[in-house]
Amino acid sequence: MLFIPSNTGNAIRRLISPWQYTEETEGHGFHTDVGAQRKAHDTGKHIMSNTLRRVQMGLFILAVLSIALVASAQAGKPPATTVPVVQSITLLPGDGMNLTITEQEPGRVAVKLTTTAANWFAGTFANLPTDRETTIELALAGSGSKENPASVVKWADLHPVMTYADPAKYATYEWFAKDTQGRWVSGDPLKTGEARYAGTGKVPVQQVIPVAVAEQFLSRDGKYWSAWREIETIDAVMDKNIFRIKQQFALPKVTVAMRIPYPPKYQQAFSERLEKAHLPGVTVHAVGKSTQGRPLTVIQVDDPDDANTAANHPVLLLYGAEDGNEPDGAWVVDGAIRWLISQDAEAQQLRKKVTVLAIPELDVDGAASATYACLTNTFMLTKPDQQPPAATLGNTAFMNTWFKSGRRLDLVCAFHNVECLEAPNVMCPIIDQRHVSVMQTLNQTVLEHLAGYATTPKTWMTGFFDTRFSGWCSRHVGSLATIYEINSRYPSQRLTQAHLQGAGMCFTQTFADFLYSPTFATLAPAIERRRKNQYAQQQQFWAKQKITRPPTPYETLVMGY
């Protein structure tokens, strides 16, 4: 049936019966005077005029009927649908992010590293689909170095982590555990009183993960919650040197990382909170700015009751992330600080006999750029006019001031991390060649205290890293030096953030006991003599200077002045 819109029908009726209407156009028109038409009927002019008008009328009718047919066909069609625009997956910038997209198609996005070393990756993805599984495909070909090429073989059974929270925020790194009363208790020792508790529900009350997806971040036993969870489905494609992550994401924005990051902004926020808390015996030393302008701090934890007695205590220096893209070690040092400032009775007792200096993240610029070995070997100069990184100068200048004040330094421990399969949770890669027997015994004791962690007594070598921060300290004041590799992604024993921080407690306890052991008592006099000799040499050097000036980088790093 032909459908004619009402406005079109009116036009047709007017054309079919034009004599029923009068239309004036430029002084001409059709008239309704029937009598006049009859009088002119017998003339040829009238006949021609009347025929012409009928032909024109017919043409008009055909044209309008064509328009009506088109309108009818269009009216019978369903309304046009709008095809949704699918946004491309993108990567957002941020500290520690080192992935770039190389190609993508529905359900798959291919990425590669923007940095050389393959011991770290992280990226914040946006516009991810939430209605289907997405494969993130990381190609390792071309990464690494000649000495240590990137290989997915070391990533077999690696389970990365993910979060929907902002990785730059302090609250993203707050975890909760259920106590015996069923209450969620914050792992942040700076929270006290009722602020420590986060409800008794299935998940804790928190602000960083949307409630609708919060249960996805709950441990299997329902007793631990963190804003970071593991990605279960992975595939290490050995013949193509590709690592694949498969996940259906609940939200379009997610951060994926090899392990839980330790962002420079987090360390800054933690230091600021410590300083504002005004805890007895806790001092946050500002030691300058990094080359890129980030704050550098050293955290000192002493006897909360007697500062005078603390001045004679043995001193332990702990630091992590000497290689900025190795956050596992930073969390161990962070955990040592958190345990020391807690209300734990053993922590309070330890502080009455040992002073701890702690730097969770030594290379903040390297952490921000996800770069390996920016700072590691910069503590020994080969030329007087060399300019080392600002963090190298800031931290060694602080230690020189510490020594000049008469304080000791007895043991230094640096924490690093491997990739995935290179070592278990904890191992000591290098035994100090100056004190092999003593340090082997200390390592054995450390591993015994780390019950529940995967460890190995095997080491890679004996030696001494005099170009590193721990080596600089040993060169100038004789302190003992040790290094530990931490691995939270070891396949058979993967560690949570709470586990990493708990290891910091174990290390601190073991080292403190060692500093009061008969074994160390035989070494302590020589260390003290070395420190005093260094101080005397400093005094003689500056007494010979004609002007008072700050030490040059060469004087600080090579001479230790």
Domains of the chain with bracketed CATH: 90-175+226-257 (2.60.40.3120), 264-559 (3.40.630.10)
The token pair that represents 38 in the structure block: 């009859």
Q: Please say whether the beta carbons of 362 and 209 come within 8 A.
A: no
Residue 383 sits at φ, ψ, to 5 deg, of -135, 140
The token pair that represents 294 in the structure block: 């980030």
Percent of residues in the chain assigned helix, strand, coil, to nearest 5: 35, 20, 45
pLDDT in tens, 10-62: 443 333 333 333 333 333 333 344 444 444 444 444 444 454 455 455 555 44
Question: Could you tell me which of 527, 524, 526, 560 has the C-alpha nearest to residue 541?
Answer: 560
Residues 6 or more apart whose Cβ sits within 8 Å of residue 221:
none
Residues in the chain where the model's pLDDT stays below 50: 1-49, 51-52, 55, 61-65, 68-72
The token pair that represents 172 in the structure block: 């993203």
> How high is the pLDDT of residue 48?
43
The answer for 49, left when phi > 0, alpha when psi is -120 to 50, beta otherwise, is alpha
Q: Please say whether the beta carbons of 428 and 486 come within 8 A.
A: no
Measure CA 34 to chain center: 94
Can you point out the beta strands (E) in 7-116? 90-92, 99-105, 108-113
Q: Please say whether the beta carbons of 511 and 358 come within 8 A.
A: no
Q: What is the pTM of this model?
A: 0.85
> How high is the pLDDT of residue 5?
42
Q: Please say whether the beta carbons of 237 and 152 come within 8 A.
A: yes
| Unique residue bearing structure tokens 């004619």 | 4
Residue 517 per-residue DSSP state: S
| CA dist 390 → 93, 378, 381, 532, 553 (Å) | 24, 10, 14, 27, 10
CA distance 93 to 368: 11
Q: Please say whether the beta carbons of 289 and 390 come within 8 A.
A: yes
Residues 6 or more apart whose Cβ sits within 8 Å of residue 379:
388, 392, 396, 466, 467, 468, 469, 471, 472, 557
Q: DSSP letter string over 378-417?
A: -SS-SSTT----HHHHHHHHHHHHHHHTT----EEEEEEE
The token pair that represents 197 in the structure block: 């508790």
> How high is the pLDDT of residue 79?
56
> How high is the pLDDT of residue 78?
56
The token pair that represents 249 in the structure block: 């994401």
Instruction: Sheet containing 426-427: give its strands across.
Output: 282-289, 295-301, 355-359, 315-320, 411-417, 480-486, 426-427
- Provide the sign of the torsion angle of the four alpha carbons 55, 59, 61, 62, taken in this order: positive
Q: Please say whether the beta carbons of 205 and 199 come within 8 A.
A: yes
At residue 157, the 3 state secondary structure works out as: coil
Question: Could you tell me which of 443, 454, 417, 428 has the C-alpha nearest to residue 329?
Answer: 417
> How high is the pLDDT of residue 136?
98
The token pair that represents 468 in the structure block: 């590193």
Size (the chain), residues: 561
| Unique residue bearing structure tokens 């990533």 | 155
CA distance 261 to 510: 26
> What number of other Cβ atoms are within 10 A of residue 546's Cβ?
5
| CA dist 38 → 20, 35, 219, 242 (Å) | 17, 5, 103, 97
Residue 200 per-residue DSSP state: S
> How high is the pLDDT of residue 548?
79
Angle at 366 between CA 360 and CA 372, to 5 degrees: 105
Residue 130 per-residue DSSP state: S
| CA dist 292 → 120, 295, 364 (Å) | 21, 9, 9
Residue 4 per-residue DSSP state: -
Classify residue 36 by burial, with Cβ atoms within 10 Å: 0-12, 13-18, 19+.
Answer: exposed
CA distance 311 to 141: 53
Q: Please say whether the beta carbons of 161 and 175 come within 8 A.
A: no
> How high is the pLDDT of residue 561?
76
